[in-house]
Amino acid sequence: MTAFPEAPRPVRGGFVLVDPDLGLPKNTIPFQYNPDTLTRTLQPQGIGGEPGDRLEVLRLKGPPHESYKFDAEFDATDAPESYPDGLFPLLSTLELSIYPSTAQLLDENRLAGKGMIEIAPAESPLLVLVLGKSRVVPVRITDFSITEEMFDPALNPVRAKVSIGVRVLTVDDLGYGNKGGWLYLGYQGRKEGFSATFGHLIAEVGLTTI
């Protein structure tokens, strides 16, 4: 009897939290299920903003503003023994990526009590969205909503859908000496590599010249 070959196991996407000083991974948040859909929006950063601005209309002052929107679903109902606190640990890790730590808050309060002002706000870990090897991109969460859909007897959420919006961070945001800046350059470089393989003749669109 001939067995059917097994389908390849899909790569799981997720987030990686990177230490902003050392550039090393601190934590990983894999998606339990990869998003079914992903919406990407790109807004070019041009210079010429007025009609007739002939000298500037084709110039670009930097990478486009790119944003992603998707839903991530999590379910702990099939293995409750593996989730004694339900989805609280996972959801908390996601949420805390946009919180200053309690240590940072207490330190700011201590300095304020001494009449001192912290000049630089607390820096959060660098958030990296990973959707396969071709999309490893530094991002910042812009909107975040959680729909908790089911609870265990202790009222721990055991099923949830997380709707996430992120903005891609570029070298304009992070600089060239930052780990995130290099990750962005790699992300754009992979796009350029894909584009280089997509060459077609002008005859494909019904023209002989333009």
pLDDT of residue 206: 84
Rounded distance between C-alpha atoms, residue 154 and residue 85, angstroms: 9
CA distance 150 to 200: 51
**What was the pLDDT predicted at 43?**
92
Q: What is the pLDDT of residue 202?
A: 84
pLDDT for 207: 85
User: Which stretches of the chain score pLDDT less than 50?
Assistant: none
List the Cα angle 56/67/60 in 5-degree steps: 15
pLDDT at residue 119, rounded to an integer: 60
- Please give the pLDDT value at position 2: 57
Q: What is the pLDDT, as a whole number, of residue 168?
A: 97
Domain boundaries, the chain: 14-191
Q: How far apart are CA 14 and CA 107, in angstroms?
A: 31
- For the CA atoms of 63, 64, 65, 67, the dihedral, rounded to the nearest 10 degrees, stands at -110
Place of tokens 């640990």: 89
Whole-number pLDDT of residue 4: 59
Residue 209 is predicted with a pLDDT of 85
Which residues are CB-neighbours of 137 under 8 A, at least 6 positions away? Answer: 128, 129, 168, 183, 184, 187
Segment 7-15 long-range contacts (CB within 8 Å, at least 24 positions apart) = 10/34, 11/132, 11/133, 13/129, 13/130, 13/131, 13/132, 14/130, 15/94, 15/97, 15/127, 15/128, 15/129, 15/130
